[in-house]
Structure 1
């Protein structure tokens, strides 16, 4: 089977792990730097040109690992493969939706997935009223397109919240406000969804002086056992966004589990280390089974 991993670098841990597992199972696998791909549209025909070669018909499956800084171009490349009938572990629309926190939360809220109370606005004249709509301070302030805990701030008073929000608005940053779930105790749970299964799950705990739980911000991880409700939430969320493979982040509150984010390019390093689950192998097994079923249907 021909597998393309769309990634900016072969030395990235997650990319390398998936590559090695694919090779181990005897597949033909290439790492394609999607930022170096050019899309040519002409006369109803399409080409994806990479290093002077039209690669649009080569892969049986693509595994996108699209970073936040190149989301739109990466999604456009994925879309061209999709329109050519190539199976992708992340739909192009899902990649774009997951990158925007507001769009993700809008979809989850419409589908009945519990989320923290959330507010987004561009009106700088009623910041105090915005804070009050969430029950007052403290409030969580997030960049709409931040990743790995970057651009996530906790305002512990109305005064500090107003100052941060005012500054963000003045810099033309798109932000959202969320209620602060104190009882989550700087913990969240990452469910790694592959197909319609939870392949692995870990609990992430933030530093004592940081309310964020991201591993990239110095937090720690451990094996987690998700409730049946949390498992169903994670699988549904990934399906609603069109992401067969996704990292779904959940916190626990007095109201029950709340979804806070869906990641279309979840990292493997932390969760493989803490849970000892070979996620890269699970991804390859999944794409192979999907392609086999697809081929059987077309025969």
Structure 2
């Protein structure tokens, strides 16, 4: 049986940590490094509160060896090193940068320092900012310095704060924040002793068009529990908790310049089994990559041209009208435009090339429906036909107000799908990776072409699961078990 994960607070002196938290053991750095109890295989979340993280110090080695022992450390050694780099502030994304300037707007000085303790800070007006920065730099104790320059607040430095550097007046708040952090994730439920692994499912409760509806998420949860997982749903504010799990399943629409990619990248770095993995997100998110790799692998696709400012004139000559223009990162029929004339072509390509130096143009051929083949680990697991919306050339029609009209759908048993459709779908999925993909194809008699490969494909209750029902959710969760058990055997 996979042992229950325990919490370990590591300090320089036991007196540094005066409170007791249920399920959390307090030990010194020397004890953690040398006691056989912590060397033998056991699952642990290690909260490293040593007074120094300098290179080859006790604090440094606690995080380094936690990784070697398969323990989830906060901070991990990569975070410690990242925080020491002079350019750490450059990874601040636009969303957090805007939050910084909103939060600090009323300050009159040109310098400001914010201490963050387990994602919280003492100034209530900066709580959202503290949590966002903790998610970017997941360390128990952080100090972030800000500088007013060029009429904006900018991050001037980020550092892991050692326990000994916490001002005495902050100690009571620190202990309260730590206690809340330790207990928060355990409060909703008591962890089942029978659980072999922990899996996190990343969702966005406010997403208008999520890849799985609420009923599907419940079935994923049940399938995971039946297979021996303890399940927890995360949102984008839980980035700092990723390392506490064995696996991450992303059920929020993914994008590269987005927190979903950062979650995937951190999960992969921490050794979790993750769907969608970051490389799949990078590849599937860009239609230029897909067009190039399909050509290289000789996988049939509509006649395609990779467009840049120097070859726009070739589109009409090579593809004719109507043709389809695609923004490289377009999703769910957004950023995909059918153009009917030379004037419209010039206008639309000019607008698209303002956002990306390369776009895609394809020959347009109307069909009654698109195939969607769900592929997991190189095997087709579901098949659907999505019909075009009424009086429209796509399966989703959107009006000026953003309202949408969808065509009908039909779910088939995989064995009832034409062999060439399945074969080409599986080949196309393999060009992206070995994860979970939705391959969209068009069929004209015996001819089949790949439209795109989506990572993070829809699996909704009442649509994609109509044939396999609960078995579909079990197949997906079985992928995680298979990968985790293979890792355990090889280790």
Q: TM-score, normalised by structure 1?
A: 0.81
Residues 77 and 63 of structure 1: CA distance in aligned 2, closer, same or farther (over 3 Å): same
Alpha-carbon distance change, 96 to 260 in structure 1, aligned in 2, over 3 angstroms = same
CA separation of 1:256 and 1:296: change in aligned 2, threshold 3 A: same
2:425 counterpart of 1:220: no
User: Residue 179 and residue 191 in structure 1: after superposition, are their counterparts in 2 closer, same or farther (change >3 A)?
Assistant: same
- Out of 370, 387, 390, the position equivalent to 1:205 is 387
Whether the 8 Å contact between 1:191 and 1:201 is mirrored in structure 2 is yes
Please say which structure displays the higher CA radius of gyration.
Answer: 2
Per-residue CA deviations over 1:43-78 (Å, capped at 9, x if unaligned) read xxxxxx23xxxx41x322221235245654422332
**Between 150-159 and 200-209, the greater mean CA deviation after superposition:** 150-159
1:43 equivalent in structure 2: none
1:260 is the counterpart of 2:451 = yes
User: Shift of residue 94 of structure 1?
Assistant: 1.0
Indicate yes or no: 2:463 matched with 1:271.
yes
One of 22, 26, 36 as aligned partner of 2:237: 36
TM-score by length of 2: 0.51
Shift of 1:148: 1.0
Distance of 1:16 and 1:285 partners within structure 2: 16
Cα RMSD for the two superposed structures: 2.8
State the alpha-carbon separation in 2 of the partners of residues 173 and 187 from structure 1: 31
Q: Which residue of 2 is the match for residue 168 of structure 1?
A: 352
- After superposing the two structures, state which structure 1 stretch, 185-194 or 269-278, moved more: 269-278
Which of 280, 285, 291 matches 1:105? Answer: 291
Aligned counterpart, 1:44: none
User: Deviation at 1:283?
Assistant: 0.6
Task: Out of 66-75 and 261-270, give the one that drifted further.
Answer: 66-75
Residue correspondence of structure 1 range 75-224 to structure 2 within 5 A: 75-123=261-309, 127-134=312-319, 136-169=320-353, 175-182=359-366, 185-214=367-396, 217-224=405-412
Offset, 1:130 = 2.0
Q: Deviations over 1:78-119 (max 9, x none)?
A: 223223322223321111111111112212221121111111
Q: Map 1:244-259 to 2 at 5 A.
A: 244-253=435-444, 256-259=447-450
Distance in 1 between residues matched to 2:445 and 2:252, nearest whole Å = 35
Gaps of 5+ in 1: 39-48
Deviations 1:11-46 (A, max 9, x none): 95154442243234442011222x3255xxxxxxxx
Say yes or no: does 1:230 pair with 2:421. Answer: yes
Aligned residue for 2:464, secondary structure, equals helix
Task: Choose the corresponding residue for 2:482, options 289, 292, 295.
Answer: 289
d(CA) in 2 for partners of 1:96, 1:273: 27
Q: Secondary structure at the match of 2:392?
A: coil
From the superposition, tell whether residues 10 and 245 of structure 1 become closer, same or farther in structure 2 (CA, over 3 Å). Answer: farther
Q: Which residue is 2:224 aligned to?
A: 22
- Per-residue deviation, 1:273: 5.5
Q: 1:115 to 1:242 in 2, by over 3 A?
A: same
The more displaced of 279-288 and 98-107 is 279-288
Distance 1:27 1:148, change over 3 A: same
Summarize the Cα distance change of 1:71–1:282 in structure 2 as closer, same or farther, 3 Å threshold.
farther
Structure with more relative contact order (C-alpha pairs < 8 Å, separation 6 or more): 1
**Aligned position for 1:62:** 248
Q: 1:147 to 1:297 in 2, by over 3 A?
A: same
Q: Separation in 2 of the partners of 1:10 and 1:126?
A: 41
Per-residue CA shift, 1:230-269, capped at 9, x if unaligned? Answer: 2222222222212421111111136711111111111111
For structure 2, the residue ranges without an aligned partner over 5 or more in a row are: 1-196, 398-403
Report the count of equivalent residues: 278
Q: 1:181 aligns to what SS in structure 2? A: coil
CA spacing shift, 1:70–1:93, aligned 2, 3 Å: closer
C-alpha separation in 2, matches of 1:168 and 1:249: 23
2:149 matched residue in structure 1: none
Tell me how far apart the structure 2 counterparts of residues 222 and 206 of structure 1 sit (CA, whole Å).
12
- Three-state SS of the structure 2 residue aligned to 1:261 is strand
> How many Å separate the matches in 1 of 2:346 and 2:466?
39
- Where 2:300 maps in the other structure, the secondary structure is coil
In 2: Cα distance, 1:88 partner to 1:168 partner: 32
- Is the Cα contact below 8 Å between 1:191 and 1:249 reproduced in 2? yes
Q: Secondary structure, in 3 states, of the residue corresponding to 1:120? A: strand
Q: Distance in 2 between matches of 1:288 and 1:213?
A: 35
Secondary structure of the residue aligned to 2:483 is: helix
Q: Matched residues in 1 for 2:476 and 2:440: separation?
A: 19
Matched position secondary structure for 2:233: strand
